[in-house]
Structure formats: C-alpha cells, structure tokens
C-alpha cells in the first residue's frame, strides 16, 4: 500500500510539473494579446476597404477602433506593471493562423468577401474566447493583467455575438 501512495504522489508531481512547464507567463500572455489585437485590426482594415455590405463595414470599423484601443491597453498595462512582453509557441501559432486567414481574405472574390470576413471573425473571436477561458485568465498571475483579461473577455464575447448575427444575415 505504501508503494502505491508513493507511486501516486510521483505521478501527480510529474503531471503538475508538466502542466507548469506549458503554462504561459504574464509576459507571454501580454504578447499574445498584442498579437491577437494586431491581427484583428489588420483583418478589419481589409474589410473596411473591401466590404460592400454596410453591416460588415460598420462591424469592421468597430473592430479597428476597439482592437486598437485594447492593444494600447495591453501595452500600457505591460509598461505600468513592468511586464516585458515575450513570445511563446501559442503566440507564434496565433500569428501563423492569422497570416493564413489574411491570405484567404485577400484571395476572396469580391462577391464572397463579406461572408469570408465574417466567417473569419466568428472563428478568430471564438478561438480567442476559448483561449481566454481555458488558458490566459487562469494562468495570469498579475492582478492587473487578470482584470484586463476578464474585461477583454466580455468584449470578445460581444464581438463574437455581433459577428454571428451578421454572418447569419449574410446567409
């Protein structure tokens, strides 16, 4: 029985160590949020330029404004809290995924652009919402960063809801 307890403790210790090895640091979380905001702004600027639908264009203008503001917030928070942003595998994957989505949007035919953009917006906001819920908020250690992420989560949820509504209108 004693060997069993020692084995369980060893397995739990290894699991906790492994989880902590893949946990994001505050510096990585801030960089990821900066990258997410930049990707949203880039996609939205393209939509402002290419969209023919007034609802899509209005949504895109809102995304430029709100994601620019949110990007500035994370930069200010990093400076004020002395968190030096650093890259992570999660941030690199987000950057690569965003680049691929932008390629797809740039290739979209004029008649298909609005549907493609709104599909991308639903996907990007859902991915960020999931990451906020499962990784970023739980792993943030700095109280100001955690508060920023919780506030941002509410905005991301609203953006997702708006994107889904417009996407349904385009069907």
pLDDT tens-digit readout, 135-156: 999 999 999 999 999 999 999 9
Backbone region of residue 82 per phi and psi (left: phi > 0; alpha: psi in -120 to 50; beta: other values):
left
Tell me the helix, strand and coil percentages in the chain, rounded to 5. 85, 0, 15
3-class DSSP state for residue 93?
helix
Q: What is the pTM of this model?
A: 0.84
pLDDT at 112 > cutoff 70: yes
Domain locations in the chain as residue ranges = 24-170
Q: How far apart are the C-alpha atoms of 52 and 49, rounded to whole Å?
A: 9
> What is the Cα–Cα distance from 134 to 116, expressed in whole angstroms?
27
Share of residues in the chain with pLDDT > 70 (%): 87
Determine contact, residues 95/87, Cβ cutoff 8 Å. Answer: no
Structure tokens at 161: 């809801």
pLDDT in tens, 49-74: 999 999 999 999 999 999 999 999 99
Q: What pLDDT score does 171 carry?
A: 87
- At residue 1 the predicted structure's pLDDT band, cuts being 50, 70 and 90, is low
Residue 51 contacts residue 114 (beta carbons within 8 Å): yes
HSE on the CB side for 53, CA within 13 Å?
19
pLDDT at 29 over 90: yes
The fourth-level CATH superfamily of domain 24-170 is Ferritin, core subunit, four-helix bundle (1.20.1260.10)
């Amino acid at each position: 029985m004693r060997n069993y307890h020692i084995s369980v403790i060893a397995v739990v210790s290894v699991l906790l160590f492994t989880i902590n090895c893949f946990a994001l640091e505050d510096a990585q979380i801030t960089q990821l949020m900066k990258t997410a905001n930049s990707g949203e702004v880039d996609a939205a600027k393209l939509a402002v330029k290419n969209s023919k639908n007034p609802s899509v264009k209005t949504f895109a203008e809102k995304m430029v404004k709100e994601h620019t503001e949110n990007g500035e917030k994370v930069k200010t928070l990093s400076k004020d809290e002395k968190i030096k942003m650093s890259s992570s595998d999660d941030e690199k994957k987000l950057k690569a995924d965003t680049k691929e989505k932008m390629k797809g949007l740039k290739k979209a035919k004029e008649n298909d652009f609005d549907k493609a953009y709104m599909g991308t917006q639903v996907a990007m906001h859902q991915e960020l919402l999931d990451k906020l819920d499962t990784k970023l908020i739980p792993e943030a250690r700095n109280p100001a960063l955690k508060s920023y992420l919780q506030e941002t989560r509410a905005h991301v949820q609203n953006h997702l809801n708006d994107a889904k509504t417009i996407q349904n209108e385009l069907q």
